[in-house]
């Protein structure tokens, strides 16, 4: 039988090492580990199965964002590249590195890499990459920035300096509307050349 003194320490150890710890030590404002609570928000930066570096690929090697996120120009989602597009280079590049061996193993087994989603708007919000990527001013130039990569970074922040991606923008309604109120769009549907991106509720809500 355990001496009462030992079981006292056993209880303390259990409290300290289990989830009860965060409840036990909780003070107002603390983050509570509650699986029903969304973990997604500004600064969200989940662990990923491969330490992929945006800095190496998009920064140092200047691979355009849309080489990998190729649906951004033509659909709602930007898309995450399949391992086959990684293997186009990594059949030859850094084949001895551990993450590349893992990549090749998954590719050979025809299994997808299970990247954790970073950004996630609520389902009742309508968002499309295409309309933002294609938005042009009346001078025919891109409206949101000078180059496509910079358009991406207007909303996603300094991705060329990031490792795996993190959520940079708040993605809140005020953030969307703030930009919609600022930006001018070209003439369309008989409306004058200088107007604003729409802010009526059904623009973004179903
Ligand atoms: C006007 C702001 C804006 C621009 C410009 C923009 N994004 Fe996004 N992006 C978002 C928002 C908002 C989400 C979250 C969408 C959701 O959860 O439905 C998102 C989600 C994503 C995702 C994850 C989901 C998906 O769509 O596959 C990727 C990858 C992505 N963006 C990459 C890019 C790239 C690359 C570019 C440039 C080619 C770009 N984004 C341009 C706002 C933007
Ligand atoms: C256009 C070519 C190209 C593509 C496509 C590409 N990479 Fe790379 N990758 C490189 C180069 C070049 C390096 C840096 C090599 C160096 O300098 O050591 C690199 C480095 C890496 C590293 C670091 C390896 C190490 O030494 O630890 C990882 C991990 C990686 N890539 C994963 C990926 C993944 C995952 C994809 C697909 C989403 C991908 N790469 C797509 C060219 C590419
Ligand atoms: C070589 C391929 C490659 C290039 C180039 C690349 N990305 Fe990515 N991107 C990935 C991969 C793989 C992921 C999934 C892992 C992660 O979240 O970082 C990703 C994730 C993202 C996400 C988060 C998606 C989500 O789950 O919400 C965003 C945003 C993003 N990239 C933006 C960009 C932007 C902006 C650029 C250009 C500056 C860019 N990417 C260039 C491969 C690439
Ligand atoms: C950096 C500026 C910027 C941000 C941030 C932004 N938008 Fe936009 N958005 C625009 C511009 C500019 C247009 C108009 C494009 C055009 O009509 O050519 C637009 C158009 C749209 C449209 C299409 C409107 C239509 O019917 O023609 C939707 C939907 C939309 N945005 C949703 C969103 C949502 C949701 C968010 C936030 C998650 C968001 N936008 C954030 C600049 C932005
Ligand atoms: C440019 C895009 C955009 C427009 C226009 C827009 N919303 Fe939103 N709205 C969003 C986004 C993104 C979210 C989700 C993020 C958040 O909760 O802020 C949201 C969330 C909401 C929510 C849920 C808020 C919460 O705290 O759960 C309500 C209610 C709402 N919007 C009502 C409206 C009404 C009413 C209008 C018109 C006056 C409107 N929205 C116009 C983008 C927009």
Mean pLDDT for the chain?
81
Q: What is the pTM of this model?
A: 0.88
Instruction: Decide if 183 contacts 197 (C-beta within 8 A).
Output: yes
Closest CA to 119 of 50, 204, 43: 43
Range of weakest confidence among 40-44, 84-88, 164-168: 40-44
Tens digits of residue pLDDT in 21-52: 232 232 333 333 333 334 468 999 999 999 99
Residue 125, C-beta contacts closer than 8 angstroms, at least 6 positions apart: 204, 205
Range of weakest confidence among 52-56, 100-104, 140-144, 145-149: 140-144
Angle at 108 between CA 106 and CA 109, to 5 degrees: 65
Nearest-CA residue for atom 17 of ligand 5: 172
Tens digits of residue pLDDT in 119-141: 999 999 999 999 999 998 778 89
Q: Which residues line ligand 3 (CB under 6 A)?
A: 48, 52, 54, 57-58, 63, 65, 67-69, 80-81, 115, 117-119, 149, 152-153, 156, 159-160, 164-165
Q: Which residues line ligand 1 (CB under 6 A)?
A: 65-66, 69, 72, 77-80, 119-121, 127, 129, 132-133, 144, 148, 151-152, 154-156, 171
């Amino acid at each position: 039988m355990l001496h009462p003194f030992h079981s006292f320490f056993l209880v303390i150890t259990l409290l300290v090492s289990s989830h009860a710890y965060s409840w036990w030590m909780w003070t107002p404002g603390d983050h509570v580990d509650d699986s029903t609570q969304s973990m997604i928000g500004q600064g969200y930066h989940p662990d990923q199965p491969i330490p992929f570096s945006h800095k190496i690929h998009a920064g140092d090697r200047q691979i355009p964002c849309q080489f990998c996120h190729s649906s951004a120009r033509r659909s709602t989602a930007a898309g995450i590249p399949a391992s086959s597009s990684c293997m186009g280079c990594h059949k030859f590049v850094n084949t001895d590195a551990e993450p590349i061996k893992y990549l090749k193993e998954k590719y050979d087994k025809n299994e997808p890499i299970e990247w954790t989603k970073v950004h996630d708007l609520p389902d009742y919000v309508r968002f499309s990459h295409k309309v933002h990527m294609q938005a042009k001013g009346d001078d025919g130039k891109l409206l949101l920035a000078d180059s496509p990569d910079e358009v991406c970074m207007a909303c996603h922040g300094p991705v060329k300096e990031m490792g795996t991606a993190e959520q940079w923008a708040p993605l809140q309604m005020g953030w969307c509307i703030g930009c919609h109120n600022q930006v001018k769009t070209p003439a369309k549907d008989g409306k004058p050349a200088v107007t604003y991106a729409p802010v009526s509720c059904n623009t973004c809500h179903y």
